[in-house]
Amino acid sequence: GTENPASEVETGQSPPEKPKLVKCRSPGKETFTCWWEPGADGGLPTNYTLTYHKEGETLIHECPDYKTGGPNSCYFSKKHTSIWKMYVITVNAINQMGISSSDPLYVDVTYIVEPEPPANLTLELKHPEDRKPYLWIKWSPPTMTDVKSGWFIIQYEIRLKPEKATDWETHFTPKQTQLKIFNLYPGQKYLVQIRCKPDHGYWSEWSPESSIQIPNDFPVKDTSMWIFVAILSAVICLIMVWAVALKGYSMVTCILPPVPGPKIKGFDVHLLEKGKSEELLRALESQDFPPTSDCEDLLMEFIEVDDCEDQQLMPRPSKEHTEQGVKPMHLDLDSDSGRGSCDSPSLLSEKCDEPQAHPSKFHTPEGPEKLENPETNLTCLQAPQSTSGEGKIPYFLANGPKSSTWPFPQPPSLYSPRYSYHNIADVCELALGMAGTTATSLDQTDQHALKASKTIETGREGKATKQRESEGCSSKPDQDTVWPRPQDKTPLISAKPLEYVEIHKVSQDGVLALFPKQNEKFGAPEASKEYSKVSRVTDSNILVLVPDPQAQNLTLLEEPAKKAPPALP
């Protein structure tokens, strides 16, 4: 404002101080009121005027109503109120000395909505017959709000507390105008207040307190609640009983786990109870007993080759042949004590019936003995490209109606432990695994898998076997058209005297290195020569083995060299 020092000094009067607009409020988005604070009046009677102009207009208006809003206020009626338009409002203080204008206030009615508190707050205690008693609070919307048409959207908040308490219990209701309160303490005087808020705007003030006295004999609970509680607990009990009935045992074990008893593999308690000790022991036996750890001893086992007319060596009669290809190999421990089959593995075969054989690789062995066993169904398989490229060593798997009693010691150190003890069928399986269509499933050692032009007929007992092998040695060779027909049953006849062959060692790749047994006939054989290379297979299914100089060094041996002697019954 302007000051005139001269006049101030003279009369102690001055123009008024700048007034200040405090706030503007609209109770229902239809009208609004502005209030100001006057400054010092400068010692003279001061008049205040309010002027404004609207957004988009240049015309300046004066306040239409100074009275309705109280002192130092300006009330804008419906006629003068526009929503979504900015009002630029100024208050001017005028006295004889001068005029002071306030800073302009920019007002948009949309954002200054603050309703009055709700009206007509009533409290009533209700006591219905079969239900819980409650306090019924009712009210109506504040004045100047048009809720029905949807112009004004409103929400309410009620709070109540016993007179002496400090904390209020608040309830929020979006638009309804009544509320029921349960759980009141009898004998207390309750205070109730309510306020409201528009959808976008300020909360109203709290209404004046309403109070109500709860009579002492006000029933807090009623029987219906207890009935409900009883039914609920009955239902819960039923459910629990049902759950226990269904899962009683598992629940009990969950809560009280049973103490684990000793478990001996293969130990059948029931057999013990029945007193059948023999069966009990037998059951124990079947669990991989004896262990294979002492396989190394078996390395030195000799193979006895007998006169094949000895039917004892044929564990099974010819009935085995009825099933094509399925030939259970019964390896009786007793009959397998190192007795070879008719075809000594150290004898060379005369002819290989395998078309894939490489005749160039074969050469006449030096004096090894030959065994003829034309009836043996020998399948000559050839190793595919071996990684070492040292030449192919045919892989021979002798098969036939006669089960081989070639013990295949498989010390874990030399062989992968996948082969089970005593189970010559594993050899067969391995071959099959290599030879069969499942060549892809072979592992490293079996890389030198063979392509069989003729599949091998084999069979085995229903013993547990490794998966890979069982693929090859499936017990359904009849599906495979390549399976050769079983040859005629061949009596085990050998024309030549049979010799013992010593298994020198078994290489890491499963190569059998054979030594001819030192005996008088040979005179002075090459002591350290091991026969691990098959030269050829004769047409009478005899393996012709030659010494393999490369087989001297076990570690260097990379040949597929999974050899099996011709099957000898």
Quote the DSSP letter at residue 113. Answer: B
Q: How far is the CB of 245 from other proteins (least distance, A)?
A: 6
Q: How far is the CB of 247 from other proteins (least distance, A)?
A: 9
Q: How far is the CB of 250 from other proteins (least distance, A)?
A: 10
DSSP string, 189-253: EEEEEEEEEESSSPPPPPPPPEEEEPPTT-----HHHHHHHHHHHHHHHHHHHHHHHHHHHHHHH
215 by Cβ neighbours in 10 Å (0-12 / 13-18 / 19+) ranks as exposed
Of 250 and 318, nearer to other proteins (C-beta) is 250
Contact of 214 with 189, CB cutoff 8 Å: yes
Of 153 and 554, nearer to other proteins (C-beta) is 153
Among the residues of 371-461, which ranges form H helices?
A: 424-435
Of 251 and 281, nearer to other proteins (C-beta) is 251
Record the tokens describing residue 453, joined without a space: 């032009």
Of 254 and 259, nearer to other proteins (C-beta) is 254
Residue written as tokens 């048409």?
A: 149
Of 174 and 257, nearer to other proteins (C-beta) is 174
Chain-centroid distance, C-alpha 114: 56
Record the tokens describing residue 424, joined without a space: 């010559």
193 has which bridge partners? Answer: 159
Of 108 and 157, nearer to other proteins (C-beta) is 108
Chain-centroid distance, C-alpha 352: 55
Rg from Cα positions in the chain = 55
Of 39 and 104, nearer to other proteins (C-beta) is 104
Q: How far is the CB of 235 from other proteins (least distance, A)?
A: 10
Contact of 448 with 559, CB cutoff 8 Å: yes
Q: How far is the CB of 28 from other proteins (least distance, A)?
A: 9
Of 245 and 464, nearer to other proteins (C-beta) is 245
Q: How far is the CB of 83 from other proteins (least distance, A)?
A: 6
53 has which bridge partners? Answer: 88
Beta strands in 343-430, from DSSP E residues, in sequence order:
377-381, 395-399
Contact of 468 with 338, CB cutoff 8 Å: no
Quote the DSSP letter at residue 370. Answer: B
Of 56 and 389, nearer to other proteins (C-beta) is 56
Q: How far is the CB of 261 from other proteins (least distance, A)?
A: 23
DSSP string, 259-288: PPPP--TT--HHHHHHT-HHHHHHHHHTTT
Of 88 and 271, nearer to other proteins (C-beta) is 88
Q: How far is the CB of 172 from other proteins (least distance, A)?
A: 17
Of 40 and 86, nearer to other proteins (C-beta) is 86
| Residues making contact with other proteins (CB under 8 A) | 29-30, 55-56, 78, 81-86, 88, 106, 108, 110-111, 146-151, 153, 175, 199-200, 242, 245-246
Q: How far is the CB of 3 from other proteins (least distance, A)?
A: 25
Q: Which three-class secondary structure state does DSSP give residue 88?
A: strand
State in Å, rounded, how far the first CA of the chain is from the last one: 131
Residue 186: how many other CB atoms lie within 10 Å: 12
| Plot region of 56 (φ>0 → left; ψ -120 to 50 → alpha; else → beta) | left
C-alpha–C-alpha distance, residues 536 and 275, integer Å: 57
Q: How far is the CB of 101 from other proteins (least distance, A)?
A: 16
Distant-in-sequence, close-in-space partners of 121: CB < 8 Å, separation ≥ 6: 137, 138, 139, 192, 194, 207, 210
Contact of 421 with 410, CB cutoff 8 Å: yes
Q: How far is the CB of 86 from other proteins (least distance, A)?
A: 6
Of 101 and 508, nearer to other proteins (C-beta) is 101
98 has which bridge partners? Answer: 95
Of 26 and 376, nearer to other proteins (C-beta) is 26
Quote the DSSP letter at residue 12. Answer: S
Beta strand pairing call for 134-140 and 98-101: unpaired
Q: How far is the CB of 239 from other proteins (least distance, A)?
A: 10
Contact of 188 with 163, CB cutoff 8 Å: yes
Q: How far is the CB of 146 from other proteins (least distance, A)?
A: 7
Of 61 and 316, nearer to other proteins (C-beta) is 61
Of 104 and 328, nearer to other proteins (C-beta) is 104
Residue written as tokens 């240049």?
A: 58
Record the tokens describing residue 231, joined without a space: 């039914």
Q: How far is the CB of 200 from other proteins (least distance, A)?
A: 6
Contact of 550 with 532, CB cutoff 8 Å: no
Q: How far is the CB of 93 from other proteins (least distance, A)?
A: 23
